[in-house]
Amino acid sequence: MTHRHALFVVYIPSPERLAAIFGDDAVAQALVDFEHTAKAFAARLLAQHEVMEPLRDLGGGMWAAAFRVVDGGLPRDAGETCAAIELAGRKSVHEITTQVFGAGSALRVGADLCAFAVDPDDWAAFSTQPKPWLAERLESHERPNFWHPDVKASDLISLMHQRAVRTVLQPIVDMNTRAVLGYEALTRGPAGSPLERPDVLFDAAHAFGLSEDMELLCAELALERTEGCVPDGRFLTINLGPKALARAANELPLAGRSEVLFELTEHMPLNEAEGLAGAVEGLRAHGVGLALDDTGCGFADMDTARILKPDIVKLCITVVRNADQGGPFLSAIRDTTQALHDLGLRVLAEGVETEDQHAALAGCAIELAQGWLYARPAPVDEVLG
């Protein structure tokens, strides 16, 4: 088991502006409430790692936690793991801000967070002067632009009302024969628009508090556009986060769709997997299965697989990308695959791009594969004819 230092930071870029919105006394209490909520949130988000120092107030609207990235069975790249933590956290920090400051002010508050690995010299600098060092680091930290600055909530609502998102499919193949066995349904925004890219589309939805509705809309459209088209014997996976998954059985047209599996994505830590078990059983009553995304990095892990018993477990791209390196990565992949097989689950390698990766993974008894090596995502009518 290896350890690498890392930092988790939550901050409000311009806390002094809050006084103009709320007044001094209200701001003081709101920041206390924000810190209390953020501490509980950070504890959940870092639960699978070794927390060296819980989230603490550095002053000026900045809070930081120190932790070590801990390998959980499969070797983890510290940068990839921090990126996964950061992405999962950013998708919820808006909810925290809304809870404390109110929906109308959440966007103006502009709370944000980041996570990054640090080398020994950086660690020493942070330990001696945490706030100045972090302020400088935040200036240079590369943060994805989650939504186009010109996109407004009304734009997103209009797009959803018009059901203007596109559905594309990427084939899933047999690892040994490369025969197509299924498809993953993916979403794209209107071509040529600021929301065309899926990361921008979904992160805008999170920013405006519409993530669950967007996920359910995309799932509904994927179901409609593939109804009666998926060849016999093949399956279709559709992505949903935990909260949308809990609503799926009651809100999506699932009758007669026994070829469908909902793929549980890594939007939030899955430490409370037991809470999803009832929703999963409700879906199974409709004949709908479950796939578990991103096993081997981030938050989805063997414990989640044991609790939810998905039909398919996907090894994350970080693991697959390093499969052709051999050594500890390949040994860990074999061990993890065997453990999943012992649970009666099928394993899928996601993000296969090279023949070397394919060859290495084929020797690990993995049944399914997906990636650009086999086929890129394409419109439904092109894939299903």
Count the neighbouring beta carbons within 10 Å of the beta carbon of residue 117: 19
Burial class of residue 105 in the structure, from the number of CB atoms within 10 Å of its CB (0-12 exposed, 13-18 middle, 19+ buried)? middle
118-125, long-range: CB < 8 A, 24+ apart? 118/5, 118/6, 118/7, 119/5, 120/5, 123/5
Alpha helices for the chain (secondary structure H):
18-22, 24-45, 78-101, 103-109, 120-128, 130-140, 153-161, 198-207, 211-226, 242-251, 274-285, 302-308, 317-321, 327-342, 355-362, 380-384
Q: Position 150: which residue type?
A: D
Degrees, nearest 5: CA angle 77-110-105:
140
SS3 167: strand
Distance CA 303, CA 301 (A): 5
Whether 236 and 254 have beta carbons less than 8 Å apart is answered as no
Question: What is the 8-class DSSP label of residue 170?
Answer: E
Q: Check if the beta carbon of residue 273 is closer than 8 Å to that of residue 292.
A: no
Whole-number pLDDT of residue 267: 46
Task: Quickly tell me which residue has 């805008």 as its tokens.
Answer: 204
3 state SS of 263: strand
Spans of all domains in the chain: 3-140, 153-384
CB count in 10 Å sphere of residue 233: 8
Residues 6+ apart with CB under 8 A from 34: 12, 96, 97, 100, 101, 111
Query: Residue 1 has what pLDDT?
Result: 43
Q: What is the pTM of this model?
A: 0.78
Helix (H) or strand (E) holding 361: helix 355-362
pLDDT of residue 317: 77
In the prediction, which pLDDT does 253 show?
96
Longest dimension (CA), the chain: 67
DSSP assignment, residue 316?
P
Residue 217's pLDDT is 98
pLDDT of residue 163: 97
287: left (phi over 0), alpha (psi -120 to 50) or beta: left
Residues belonging to the chain? 385
Q: Can you name the CATH fold of 3-140?
A: Alpha-Beta Plaits (3.30.70)
Contact by Cβ (8 Å): 294, 261: no
Q: Which CATH code fits 153-384?
A: 3.20.20.450
Q: What is the pLDDT along the chain (385 residues), one digit of tens a residue?
A: 455 789 999 988 877 777 766 677 777 888 888 999 999 999 988 988 889 999 999 988 899 999 988 876 666 678 878 887 887 787 678 778 877 877 656 666 778 888 988 888 888 888 888 888 888 888 777 665 555 567 888 889 999 999 999 999 999 999 999 999 999 999 999 999 989 989 889 888 887 889 899 999 999 999 999 999 999 999 999 999 989 999 999 999 999 999 999 999 864 455 578 889 999 999 999 999 999 987 765 445 677 888 899 999 998 777 788 788 877 778 888 888 998 999 999 999 999 999 999 999 999 999 999 999 999 999 999 999 8
The full 3-state SS of 175-195, as one line of letters, equals CCCCCEEEEEEEEECCCCCCC
